[in-house]
């Protein structure tokens, strides 16, 4: 017996309405990374690939970036809803744009320790921060390590440094050629880039900022005030889905890098797996992170950083740490338990 036409039409209409309602309940989120699709991008691409954002009723699009400063600006402009950016860059934006109507805020700390370091070749004779005095250092002008170098220099009595600016692709090349004595950069970026240029890791001296008195936080997830005000549930859902994905990334970095390669087929999967693992070991699963808890910050430490960045970056106004950090959307303690035991 055939179903009457009007019943078939009603069924189709009902299905269409249900689909429309489901779509209406899905929140679109435009997310900006801090850098290219390299190993650490798996932190966000893996939860997307596994459907964790989708399960949280979020339609998340993830775009590559070209530096934390640009990410902060784009989230502030409304071009992006959320992003991944260096906390110092976020602080600088707040202090230099006091009248800006939309200042993004950090809602989850990911790199509990800054990945910045000074790197030199062993043949240069540089062994400690004191050896950098009077030397020629190179880095792009917007490099996080270069911007924060005054804090490193003050902590280690370094003076008389001459800076050479260059585009990011030339930084490691110039060090390998001897055009500069040392460079600043994220350890997991520059160390592997040097290796790609024929420099063996054992021939590189690495002076990590955290190991030499610089207790800056690194990259955090930031959100626009508009999204926070209009859809706080979406921010909370994003962070919960991200934390779920973090467990997968930390548990199997090689599998996570496959999600990066799906976005950029020309990457070297083995190299990017090592880069991701280095990021996890140095910036994510650090002693400070295990003490403070993944995703969280220490109030006194954040306040100290705000003061140091105000001085080092010579900001127009002093940085208010309470204005750049909003922990109210963090997942539960159980959901944030993503770090492996040491």
How much is the pLDDT for 340? 87
Q: Are residues 221 and 317 in the same domain?
A: yes
Residues 231 and 314 in one domain: yes
Which of 31, 33, 44, 29 lies closest to 256, judged by CA? Answer: 44
Does residue 16 form part of some domain?
Answer: no
DSSP 8-state secondary structure symbol assigned to residue 66? S
Domain-located, residue 224:
yes
Is residue 53 in a domain? Answer: yes
| CA 170 to chain CA centroid, nearest Å | 22
Does the structure show a pLDDT above 90 at 2?
no
Q: 249: which 2 tokens?
A: 């990334």
Q: How far apart are the first and last CA of the chain?
A: 67
Q: 232-251 and 253-263 are packed helices; what angle lies between their axes, rounded to 10 degrees?
A: 120
Q: Are residues 186 and 221 in the same domain?
A: no
Is there a domain that residue 135 lies in?
yes
Using one digit for the tens of pLDDT, what is the confidence trace for 311-333? 999 999 999 999 999 999 999 99
pLDDT value, residue 7: 56
Q: Are residues 183 and 139 in the same domain?
A: yes
Domain identity same for 194 and 248: no
Angstrom distance (rounded) from CA 305 to CA 324: 12
Structural domain includes residue 257: yes
pLDDT band (50, 70, 90) for residue 22: very low
Q: What is the pLDDT of residues 81-110, one digit of tens each?
A: 999 999 999 999 999 999 999 999 999 999
Looking at the domain assignment, is residue 21 inside a domain? no
Q: What percent of the chain has pLDDT over 90?
A: 91
* CA 133 distance to own-chain centroid: 30
Neighbours of 94 (CB within 10 A): 24
Q: Which of 195, 212, 229 is the last residue of a domain?
A: 212
Q: In this structure, are 38 and 67 located in the same domain?
A: yes
Q: Residue 94 belongs to what domain range?
A: 27-112+217-329
Indicate the number of domains in the chain.
Answer: 2
Q: State which of 159, 194, 212 marks the end of a domain.
A: 212
Whether residue 21 has pLDDT greater than 70: no
Q: Are 161 and 277 in the same domain?
A: no
Contact present, 239 and 331 (Cβ < 8 Å):
yes
Residues 94 and 226 in one domain: yes
Do residue 221 and residue 90 come from a single domain?
yes
Question: Do residues 244 and 317 both lie within one domain?
Answer: yes
- Residue 341 is predicted with a pLDDT of 75
Neighbours of 239 (CB within 10 A): 22
Decide which of 166, 195, 212 is a domain's last residue: 212
Assigned domain for 4 exists: no
Say if 57 falls within a structural domain: yes
Same domain as 226, residue 84: yes
Q: What integer is the mean pLDDT of 64-69? A: 93
In this structure, the answer to whether residues 33 and 107 fall within a common structural domain is yes
By mean pLDDT, which of 17-21, 47-51, 75-79, 186-190 is the weakest? 17-21
Residue 61's domain is classified under what CATH number? 3.40.190.10
d(CA 48, CA 30): 12
For residue 181, give the nearest of 162, 197, 198, 168 by alpha carbon: 162
pTM, entire model: 0.91
Contact assessment for residue 271 and residue 196, using Cβ atoms and an 8 Å cutoff: yes
């Amino acid at each position: 017996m055939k179903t009457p036409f009007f019943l078939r039409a009603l069924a189709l209409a009902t299905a269409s309405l249900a689909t429309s309602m489901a779509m209406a309940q899905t929140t679109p989120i435009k997310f900006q990374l801090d850098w290219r699709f390299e190993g650490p991008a798996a932190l966000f691409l893996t939860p997307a690939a596994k459907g964790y954002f989708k399960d949280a009723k979020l339609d998340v699009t993830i775009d590559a970036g070209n530096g934390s400063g640009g990410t902060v600006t784009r989230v502030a402009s409304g071009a992006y809803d959320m992003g991944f950016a260096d906390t110092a860059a976020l602080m600088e934006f707040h202090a230099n744009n006091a009248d800006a109507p939309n200042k993004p805020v950090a809602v989850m700390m990911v790199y509990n320790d800054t990945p910045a370091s000074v790197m030199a070749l062993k043949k240069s004779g540089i062994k400690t921060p004191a050896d950098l005095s009077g030397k020629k250092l190179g880095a792009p002008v917007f490099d996080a390590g270069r911007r924060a170098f005054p804090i490193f220099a003050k902590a280690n009595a370094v003076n008389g440094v001459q800076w050479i600016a260059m585009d990011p692709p030339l930084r490691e090349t110039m060090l390998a050629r001897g055009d500069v004595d040392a460079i600043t950069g994220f350890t997991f970026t520059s160390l592997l880039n040097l290796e790609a240029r024929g420099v063996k890791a054992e021939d590189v001296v690495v002076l990590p900022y955290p190991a030499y008195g610089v207790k800056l936080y690194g990259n955090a997830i930031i959100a626009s005030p508009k999204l926070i005000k209009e859809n706080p549930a979406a921010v909370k859902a994003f962070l919960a889905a991200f934390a779920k994905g973090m467990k997968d990334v930390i548990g199997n970095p090689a599998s996570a890098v496959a999600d990066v390669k799906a976005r950029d087929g020309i990457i070297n999967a083995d190299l990017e797996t090592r880069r991701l693992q280095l990021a996890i070991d140095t910036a994510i699963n650090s002693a400070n992170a295990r003490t403070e808890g993944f995703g969280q910050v220490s109030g006194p430490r954040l306040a100290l950083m705000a003061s140091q960045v105000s001085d080092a970056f010579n900001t127009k106004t002093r940085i208010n740490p309470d204005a750049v950090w909003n922990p109210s959307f963090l997942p539960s303690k159980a959901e944030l338990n993503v770090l492996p035991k040491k």
